[in-house]
Structure 1
Amino acid sequence: MSRKVTVIMRSKDSAWVIGQALSGLFSQARKDFELLVVDSGSRDATLDIVSRFPCQLIRIDAGAYFPGVVLNRAIREAQGDIIVFQNSDVVPLTPQALDRLLEPIERTDADATFARQLPRPEAHTWVRRDYEVAFPEQGTPPPWMTYSLPFAAMTRDAWLKHPFYEDAWGSEDTEWGHRARGDGLRVRYVPDAWVMHSHNYTLKQLYGRRFIEGEADAFIREEPASLTGLARKLGASWARDAVVHIRARDAAGLALSVPRRLVYHWAYWKGHQWGEQRLRSGNADASVGQRVVLRRQ
């Protein structure tokens, strides 16, 4: 007898894609799940679209949205023994995606799983390259890809052993995977569970995303970041970008690669510095990262 499954979807102003995400979910071969949608202040047609699908809706204010806090609350309210996470901009690409994601858990070969993410058709060249590295066609992802929530699953027992952290505003999945593996939990990548998901961030949005990733890494890895390391990573990443854009004959992408990588690494360093400062001072306020992101959406 299969275990009860709850799908948790977080949304905000997702009208452009959430219909595709929900249609993909309800087109799965597996039908025996409950859906719990947590919306953080959508001002577009998101909630109208959500109302067309059977679900439990939790509404919170935008200012109350802290990923770890929201996920922990949603799991406490969920009925499932297995918790599935699907972002509101993630579209399952086959009717078997959910079954394949859950199969290692239901065989008791894994405590948590995450899917292969394929970039959207309009994804920029550098985004495509990064996704190919992070979510390979076969084998295992790179060591830094510890877990990825856009389409993922875990047992309730795994969550009880390690709830999502609430210290910083971002990278709740990376932190969970990092600590869960250290605790002996079995986290499996499922390359044949295919979903579509990617972002073409503006430079402002990229700054916000990388700031919170840097802040979170200060808590996760507890290692200092240096300007020397920043310069080394900047040079290496730009060289990789140059190669991939030249091969793709993407002159516009090549021209943007220098400012993009400057923002990418500088924002991470600034966020990491802020995270280190918080750790030294015992500052428990996670709202700075939230404001950095929301101001740039």
Structure 2
Amino acid sequence: MKCSVVIRCYNEGCHIGRLLEGILQQGLKDLEIVAVDSGSTDDTLAVLARYPVKVVRLEPGTFTFGRACNLGCRVARGEFVVFASAHTYPVYGDWLERLLAPFEDERVALVYGKQRGNGRTKYSEHQVFAKWFGDESQPRQTTPFCNNANAAVRRSVWESQPYDETLTGLEDIEWARRAQSVGHQVAYAAGAEVIHSHDETWAGIRNRYQREAVAYSRIFPQERFRFIDFLRLFLGNALNDCYHALHERRLFGNIWGVFGFRLMQFWGTYRGFSRRGELDEALKRRFFYPNGWSHRPRPEEARAREQRRVIYSDGVSHEI
């Protein structure tokens, strides 16, 4: 089997059907779908039952992101294991083909793809996606940055180094860091695009970044994030978002959301980090610093891919 798509889910009944529909419309057919459910109490399991999905259960009290990844990999039979967040869905019918293409280089252990938001995504999160997931592919990335909401790993590498099950998040980056340390490569495939539907409360945003900061400080124990860093990055990113929103004529209606998101993002980060040492600057810029001030229009070549869009049962390719 070419690949196994592993979906970690918990109460994702309103999202997961769209992802499954998108997977079944992929040009790549040599695949299986595995769902790792950690105790859903909504209709997630009923939705999964309508699709060709192998469901495995993980007790809620034992859940960690790394443990769910390892369980999915153990059950999966594919040569490559694709991870997809339950609240993502592919934009194009060649998503899986493009995500797996960099594995032609045998040194590549992990590939991650582009993420974009939809109509429910907060403006600042659109900016985060644009910063983290650019329009240019990187066949050999120097940092371990990646994101398991849309990524694939070579199963043979996972067998020799499973995910860390003790981390509170960023298990993907920790895995990539170990893989790079023994000579493997990490690649970014910009053409493997998904829509990532985040619709969190303010408290949810703060908790997500706090949880990830706790993990970050374990992975990079020399890191230091001071109160002055919180102030500088909160204000810098918020003002940068306002600049882009003004340029796009979207500032009205978004300004309070911009300051609310960035406040929760960096307050959560400040709360979660241990105050130790310094971090590699390239990776630090990728995580925390805002987009450039210049406006970057959508590349012309992207328009040529419109004919490959996945058309969902509601009649649209994705929500914008």
Cα shift at 1:231:
2.1
Render the CA deviation track for 1:94-153: whole Å, top value 9, x for unaligned: 111111111121453622111111212332221222211111111449977711111211
User: What is the aligned partner in structure 1 of residue 101 from structure 2?
Assistant: 103
Tell me, what secondary structure is at the counterpart of 1:238? helix
Tell me, what secondary structure is at the counterpart of 1:114? strand
User: What is the aligned partner in structure 2 of residue 208 from structure 1?
Assistant: 207
User: What is the aligned partner in structure 1 of residue 291 from structure 2?
Assistant: none
User: What is the aligned partner in structure 2 of residue 176 from structure 1?
Assistant: 175
Partner Cα separation in structure 2 for residue 191 and residue 262 of structure 1: 29
Partner Cα separation in structure 1 for residue 77 and residue 111 of structure 2: 19
Tell me, what secondary structure is at the counterpart of 2:204? helix
Partner Cα separation in structure 2 for residue 78 and residue 274 of structure 1: 39
Partner Cα separation in structure 2 for residue 178 and residue 252 of structure 1: 40
Tell me, what secondary structure is at the counterpart of 2:180? helix
- Structure 2 counterpart of 1:87, one-letter code: S
Tell me the TM-score normalized by structure 2: 0.79
User: What is the aligned partner in structure 1 of residue 290 from structure 2?
Assistant: none
User: What is the aligned partner in structure 1 of residue 286 from structure 2?
Assistant: none
Contact 1:126–1:244 (Cα < 8 Å) also in 2: no
User: What is the aligned partner in structure 2 of residue 247 from structure 1?
Assistant: 247
1:5 maps to 2:6: no
Greater per-residue helix proportion? 1
46, 49, 60: which one pairs with 2:47?
49
User: What is the aligned partner in structure 2 of residue 69 from structure 1?
Assistant: 67
Partner Cα separation in structure 2 for residue 144 and residue 265 of structure 1: 22
Contact 1:213–1:271 (Cα < 8 Å) also in 2: yes
Tell me, what secondary structure is at the counterpart of 1:251? coil
Tell me the TM-score normalized by structure 1: 0.84
> Which runs of 5 or more residues in structure 1 are unaligned?
277-297
Contact 1:112–1:158 (Cα < 8 Å) also in 2: no
Q: 5 Å matches for 1:180-259? A: 180-222=179-221, 223-248=223-248, 249-259=250-260
Report the count of equivalent residues: 274
Which range moved further: 227-236 or 21-30?
227-236
Check 1:38–1:165 CA distance in 2 against 1; reply closer, same or farther (3 A cut): same
Q: Percent of aligned pairs with the same residue? A: 27
Contact 2:225–2:275 (Cα < 8 Å) also in 1: no
Cα shift at 1:260:
2.9
Partner Cα separation in structure 2 for residue 262 and residue 35 of structure 1: 38
Contact 2:144–2:180 (Cα < 8 Å) also in 1: no
Partner Cα separation in structure 1 for residue 161 and residue 22 of structure 2: 30
- Structure 2 counterpart of 1:235, one-letter code: L
Partner Cα separation in structure 1 for residue 200 and residue 65 of structure 2: 20
Check 1:238–1:36 CA distance in 2 against 1; reply closer, same or farther (3 A cut): same
Tell me, what secondary structure is at the counterpart of 1:34? strand
Contact 1:97–1:192 (Cα < 8 Å) also in 2: yes
Contact 1:11–1:40 (Cα < 8 Å) also in 2: yes
Partner Cα separation in structure 2 for residue 179 and residue 247 of structure 1: 41
Contact 1:147–1:176 (Cα < 8 Å) also in 2: no
Contact 1:125–1:250 (Cα < 8 Å) also in 2: no
Tell me, what secondary structure is at the counterpart of 2:245? helix
Partner Cα separation in structure 2 for residue 183 and residue 210 of structure 1: 29
Partner Cα separation in structure 2 for residue 136 and residue 159 of structure 1: 26
> Which runs of 5 or more residues in structure 2 are unaligned?
278-320
Q: 5 Å matches for 1:278-293? A: none
Render the CA deviation track for 1:14-50: whole Å, top value 9, x for unaligned: 1111111001011111111122111111111111110
Partner Cα separation in structure 2 for residue 169 and residue 267 of structure 1: 14
Tell me, what secondary structure is at the counterpart of 2:129? helix
Which range moved further: 47-56 or 156-165?
156-165
Tell me, what secondary structure is at the counterpart of 2:13? coil
- Structure 2 counterpart of 1:46, one-letter code: T
1:124 maps to 2:122: yes
Partner Cα separation in structure 2 for residue 190 and residue 238 of structure 1: 28
